[in-house]
Amino acid sequence: MQILEDLSGISVLDLSGETRVATRPEVPVPVYGERIVEGFRIWDPYRSKMAALLIKSHIAGTFYKLVSDLNLSPASKILYLGAATGTTASHFSDIVPAGLVYAVEFSARSMRDLLVLCTARDNIIPILEDASCPERYGPFLEPVDLVYQDVAQRNQAEIAARNAARYLKGGGALVLMIKARSVDVTADPKAVYKAEVERLAGVEVISSADLRPYHRDHWAVVARKEVERR
């Protein structure tokens, strides 16, 4: 195994000629059947759009820029919208061991599995709520450094913008995974993606990437919220 790139708790590894991304928890225990190699949890790009984005950025030579744009430190706070059973949230939990991942999920079935994960990881706060009603979870949250969204809803950009407006710190990053087919199954996916990006009010888009071959008709958008001037 060789470490090819490494920043802010995210590593790119060469595993016998295969490029993989990984995180390194204090106690390396698999969460969703992923491989553990020399203490690293191998982050599956087919199961996690964030892992797909990271691998694609490594191939494009923009890994350091992307990870720097996320501006994460071990004590960062993350608002995760659409946490499902915690596949990707568990890797964010590795990246912020002294911070918190607020994991919002509205499916009671997924939340049941997420709660099992939370008993083993005390930096994930499970919130059974609808991400399109951000005012409902205000009492549980403090301002966050990163909003990560993967909710596959018709109004994905609007949900992201409303959560970022309410909870993202000035200068903080938004990562939005856009699933074109959730917005409009009949339209050209690229046109849907462009229209969604235009709906992202209150943040400046700094990069975007098509997630093929790992996820078809999905785009990742990274944006930054302006620092408020007094």
- Residues near ligand SAM (CB under 6 A) are 48, 82, 84, 87-88, 104-107, 110, 130-132, 150-153
Name the residue among 144, 171, 153 with its Cα closest to residue 80. 144
Rounded CA-CA distance 86/92 in Å is 10
Q: Quick one: 19 or 110, whose CB is closer to ligand SAM? A: 110
Task: CB nearer to ligand SAM: give 11 or 88.
Answer: 88
User: Which is nearer to ligand SAM, 105 or 145 (by Cβ)?
Assistant: 105
Tell me the helix, strand and coil percentages in the chain, rounded to 5: 35, 30, 35
CB of 114 to ligand SAM, least distance (A): 9
Based on CB atoms, which residue is closest to ligand SAM, 15 or 128?
Answer: 128
Minimum distance from residue 90 beta carbon to ligand SAM (Å) = 8
Give residue number: closest CB to ligand SAM. Answer: 82
Least Å distance, CB 2 to ligand SAM, is 27
**Which residues, 6 or more positions from 172, have their beta carbon under 8 angstroms from its beta carbon?**
71, 143, 144, 145, 146, 147, 164, 224, 225
Q: Which is nearer to ligand SAM, 44 or 170 (CB)?
A: 44
Range list of β-strands (E), 44-115 = 77-81, 100-105
CB of 195 to ligand SAM, least distance (A): 19
Q: What distances in angstroms separate CA 133 from CA 74, 115, 138, 148, 163, one per listed residue?
A: 29, 21, 10, 16, 9
Q: How far is the CB of 76 from ligand SAM (least distance, A)?
A: 18
